[in-house]
Amino acid sequence: MMKRATDYGYAIKPVYTPEDIAELDYRRDLGEPGAFPYTRGYHPEGYRSRMWTQRMTAGLGTSRDANLVLKKYREMGQRGGMCVISDRVFSSCIDVDHPLGRREAGVLGWPGCSLLEFEELMEDIPLTGQSITLLGSCAPTTLRLAYVVALAEKRGDDLSKIHGSVLESPFENYFGQTDVQPFDLNLKLFLDASEYVIRNRIRMRAAIISQHFQESGGNNAQALALEMAMLKELCTLLVTERGLDFDDVATLPYELVSIGTRFFEEIAKVRALRRMWARLAREHFKAKKEKSCHLLIAAHTSGRTMTYQQPLNNIVRCAIQTLAGAIVGATAIDNATLDNAHAEPSPLAARMSLNTQHIVAYETGAADVVDPLAGSYFVEALTDEVEREAYAILARIEEMGGMIAALDRGVVQDMLREEAAKRFREIDTGERLVVGVNHLVMPPEEEFEIPVQELPPGDSEGIARRMEEWKKTRDLPLVAARLSRLHTDAGKGDRFNLMPAIIDAVKAYATAGEIFGVIRMARGLSYDPFNMIECPFALQ
């Protein structure tokens, strides 16, 4: 029996009428676009004043490879922003010449383990005039920021002219996107980077996002609740522990929301998100600036929904999801697309992704009107419902003492595991139909084989060797001195900001593994999280 319920399990009625939104008060609950509580969006003119940033993700092989792809994207018309994803080596903050790193360097993204790699990545590409987004995990947040600061200084760019996002929250580690560094270290460094950005007025955003949670199986209501819980916890820490003003802190976070194929529910979720954040900012944090009630929301079409079977169907899914992202007024959209269940995006997949966005933006008319589904009995009822359910989950988390306390008890992890298992079961038993997987299945031999983008074997070793040789050519006494300073600073307690020492070390071309190694040592941990190599420097 096919299930007719929202992804968080509420039954869906055959028809919705005015009675379903009898409680709705237009001014209180929706407001005009550009007015509190911002359910309908932040700009009165919507996409007429500014189109969403259409971006495709790059990163595979060497930094020079990724640089060529970025330039190609620019030629294809992607000028608003660039987005690069890190490989698993840089995400773990070890080096590509580490015994484990050399097996996977450049395999799943960009091997950005030193400033040299960033310089090569950005060759002939401006740091200003487009948003710079570097994705990965939480651990290298400080390094990504340090690269941007160091390169801007080298090029003589005004830091205040650079914008984008290079910070990622430490919670992803619990959302099926694990890096090897411990949570408390990730949290400390995330707060360091955030504080540095805010105090120096750098327009860099931090991803405090529910995307990984949802891609790992969480439902819409849970994603909203956790998004609020994470924002609340991290903003509170920045205000209370780092002594920052909330109105400054509010310029930091952005949400990358995962948009699936359940069209109306996805739209309802994002509308509820805007309203929930506006109320949190105004009522809980006592925001003084209206702008603090705006949460920057980017949309990612859901990789989880992209099937391995009959991959061309994914183009259709991606189009539906992109349309939802546009209708809901996302500031930026990036796509998981046809080969998502196979490999990193091939040139064909990237082209399809960009085309999809342009078809939605210019052929459908969806970008001409702000929040076109407002007032729909169904969508407004769904918006209220998902918000109510999310508040109920949030209340349970708050009762435990907030997001970190709930994680300490394993409650959030259990919630995610249960939900992921449920989702699997629903498809396994046919309660939810997925074309090509449990419905209209095709024999594998009849399937259309799509081109797959891969790193040729041996390239990882090449990247590793290059780093090995290059490391020796650095000004080693300088590297050692900078690392020693970092080591000393890292022993000064969690509130002592390590950004200045990290930036100095990065400028001397100290690497990710070296920088994290000495920070770890100062905290009583081993230099290498895998216990395979020793610190090559004598620290003073």
Partner 1 sequence: MTNGARDENVTLEALCRGDVRTCARLLTRIERGEEAVIPLLQALYRAGGNGRVIGVTGPPGAGKSSLISCLIGAWRRRGLRVAVLAIDPSSPFTGGAVLGDRLRMVEHGCDDGVFIRSMASRGQLGGLARAAGDALTVLEAMPWDVILVETVGVGQNETDIMRHAAVVVLLQTPLGGDEVQAVKAGIIEIGDVYVVNKSDHPAADRTCRQLREMIARGSRLRPDRDWQPPVIKTQAHLGVGVAELVDAIDGCFAHQNADPEAARRYMSDRARHRIGEILRDRLDRRLRSGDEGWLEGSIEPVVSREKDPYTVVAEMLSRL
Partner 2 sequence: MSAGQGKKVIVSMIGLDGHTTGGEIVARILRDAGIEVVYLGCNQTPEMIVRAAIQEDVDLIGISSHASNYGQIVSLVELLKRNGAEDVPVVCGGNVPKHQARLLIEKGVAAVFPPGSGADSIIRFVLGNARGATAGLCVNGEGIA
Q: Which residues bind partner 2 (CB under 8 A)?
A: 88-89, 91-92, 100-101, 103-104, 107-108, 137, 176-180, 216-217, 307-309, 340-344, 417, 420-421, 424-425, 427-428, 434, 436-438, 449, 452, 454-455, 457, 529-530
Decide: is 523 part of the binding site for partner 1 (CB under 8 A): yes
Counting contacts by CB under 8 A, is residue 410 touching partner 1?
Answer: yes
| By the rule CB under 8 A, 491 interacts with partner 1 | no
Q: What are φ and ψ of residue 298, in 5° steps?
A: -105, 155
Please tell me whether residue 422 binds partner 1 under the rule CB under 8 A. Answer: no
Binding partner of residue 525 among partner 2, partner 1, none, CB under 5 to 8 Å per kind? partner 1
Helix boundaries (H) for 254-340: 263-279, 313-327
Backbone Cα Rg of the chain: 23
Q: Which of residues 154-193 bind partner 1 (CB under 8 A)?
A: 182-184
Report the interhelical angle of 141-155 vs 499-507 (nearest 10°): 60
Q: Which residue in the set 408, 418, 468, 469 belongs to the binding site for partner 1 (CB under 8 A)? A: 408
In the complex, least distance from residue 182 CB atom to partner 2, rounded to whole angstroms: 12
Choose the contact partner of 410 out of partner 1, partner 2, none; CB within 5 to 8 A by kind. partner 1
CB 194 → partner 2: shortest distance, Å? 22
Q: Which is nearer to partner 2, 53 or 337 (CB)?
A: 337
**Binding partner of 500, given partner 1, partner 2, none, CB within 5-8 angstroms per partner class:** none
> Based on CB atoms, which residue is closest to partner 1, 159 or 400?
400
Task: Tell me the closest approach of the beta carbon of residue 189 to partner 2, in angstroms.
Answer: 17
In angstroms, the CA 292 to CA 281 distance is 7
Q: How far is the CB of 265 from partner 2 (least distance, A)?
A: 21
Q: How far is the CB of 296 from partner 2 (least distance, A)?
A: 26
Question: Token digits for 498?
Answer: 């390590």
Q: List CB contacts of 511: < 8 A, sequence separation 6 or more.
A: 95, 113, 114, 467, 471
Helix axis angle for 411-428 and 377-399, nearest 10°, is: 140
C-alpha closest to that of 95 among 494, 510, 526: 510
Token look-up 């990247």 returns 463
Residues 6+ apart with CB under 8 A from 226: 171, 210, 213, 218, 393, 397, 403, 412
Helix H or strand E segment including 204: strand 203-207
Q: Using the rule CB under 8 A, is 284 a contact of partner 1?
A: no
Which of 4/396 has CB closer to partner 1?
396
Contact indicator for 86, 136 with CB cutoff of 8 Å? yes
Beta bridge pairs of residue 453: 344
Q: Which does residue 409 touch among partner 2, partner 1, none (CB within 5 to 8 A, set by kind)?
A: partner 1
Amino acid letter, 372: P
- Our CB check for partner 1 shows the closer of 406 and 480 to be 406
Contact 354, 362 (CB under 8 A): no
Least separation in angstroms between CB 113 and partner 1: 22
Determine, following the binding rule CB under 8 A, whether residue 524 of this chain makes contact with partner 1.
Answer: yes
User: Is the Cβ–Cβ distance between 51 and 411 less than 8 Å?
Assistant: no
CA distance 417 to 434: 21
Enter the DSSP assignment of 137.
-
The nearest distance, CB 524 to partner 1, in angstroms, is: 5
Could you say which of partner 1, partner 2, none residue 524 binds, taking C-beta under 5 to 8 angstroms by partner kind? partner 1
Q: Which does 459 bind (CB under 5 to 8 A by kind): partner 1, partner 2, none?
A: none
Which amino acid is present at 48?
Answer: R
Q: Which amino acid is at 291?
A: K
CB of 316 to partner 2, least distance (A): 17
Q: Which is nearer to partner 1, 100 or 367 (CB)?
A: 100
What DSSP state is assigned to residue 174? G
Closest contact distance (angstroms) between CB of 109 and partner 2 is: 10
Q: Which residues make up the interface to partner 1 (CB under 8 A)?
A: 182-184, 405, 408-410, 523-526, 530-531
